[in-house]
């Protein structure tokens, strides 16, 4: 094999190695880009779920605080404020007025307007109504609290699933980078092997040429008598 053939072989090996490395990088870049798109989309969807459920989570949090205040878990002042707010609410005042008027009308119709029973009924009506109002308010708040709890759980599940999906996509990116590094390393190794082989062939060729020169026998020297 001549020097020209050896040189051509080296050029071919270098071109092959460069093409292999370029193809590997292109494939790795494409996979990394696609997985990054997936990661961005996963995050966007999770943020959309958070935004969608945020009002329900906030309502549930507020309802839980109101429940705690009504039963005294927030302290005496908070409980008194919660009860006072119920007493002053339009709903309670409307039901109180209607109830007292009903008692008075009934007493007037029966001729017992100024009797002790009427006064006792009026005295008992307001506390009983307030107690019922507190219980009803607590139950109403329980529904909102449960709604918020479910919304928070949904956000938590979505976050867990999003985290798992993104983790898998990051792993794919890592595998792609590792595969690219291995491919580049293999291409370099093959190129160095080809270079080493070419050097060996060149050495053998050079050695044969040298040996041929050493074995050359010149013209016979004439004998002088």
Tens of pLDDT along 161-211? 888 888 777 777 766 665 655 555 555 555 555 555 555 455 555 555 555
173, 32 Cβ separation under 8 angstroms: yes
Tokens representing residue 205 in the block: 């060729």
- Mean predicted lDDT score pLDDT of the chain: 75
pTM for the model:
0.60
Lowest mean pLDDT among 16-20, 69-73, 103-107, 155-159: 16-20
Contacts of 216 (CB under 8 A, 6+ apart): none
Band (120; pLDDT cuts 50, 70, 90): confident
Residue reference for tokens 């041929």: 212
pLDDT at position 19, please? 59
CA angle 173, 177, 179 (to 5 degrees): 115
More confident residue, 136 or 15: 136
Tokens representing residue 11 in the block: 């050029």
């Amino acid at each position: 094999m001549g020097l020209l053939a050896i040189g051509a072989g080296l050029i071919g090996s270098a071109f092959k190695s460069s093409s292999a490395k370029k193809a590997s990088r292109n494939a790795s870049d494409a996979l990394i880009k696609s997985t990054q798109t997936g990661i961005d989309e996963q995050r966007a969807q999770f943020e959309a779920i958070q935004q969608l459920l945020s009002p329900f989570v906030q309502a549930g949090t507020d309802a839980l605080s109101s429940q705690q205040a009504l039963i005294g878990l927030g302290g005496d002042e908070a409980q008194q404020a919660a009860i006072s707010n119920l007493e002053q609410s339009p709903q309670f005042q409307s039901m109180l007025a209607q109830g007292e008027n009903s008692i008075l009308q009934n007493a007037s119709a029966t001729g017992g307007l100024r009797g002790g029973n009427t006064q006792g009924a009026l005295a008992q009506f307001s506390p009983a109504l307030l107690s019922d109002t507190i219980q009803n308010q607590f139950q109403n708040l329980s529904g909102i609290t449960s709604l918020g709890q479910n919304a928070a759980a949904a956000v938590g599940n979505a976050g867990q699933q999003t985290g798992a999906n993104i983790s898998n996509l990051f792993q794919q990116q890592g595998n792609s980078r590792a595969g690219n590094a291995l491919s580049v390393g293999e291409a370099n190794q093959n190129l160095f092997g080809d270079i080493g082989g070419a050097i060996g062939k060149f050495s053998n060729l050079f050695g044969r040429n040298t040996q041929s020169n050493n074995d050359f026998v010149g013209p016979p020297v004439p004998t002088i008598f």
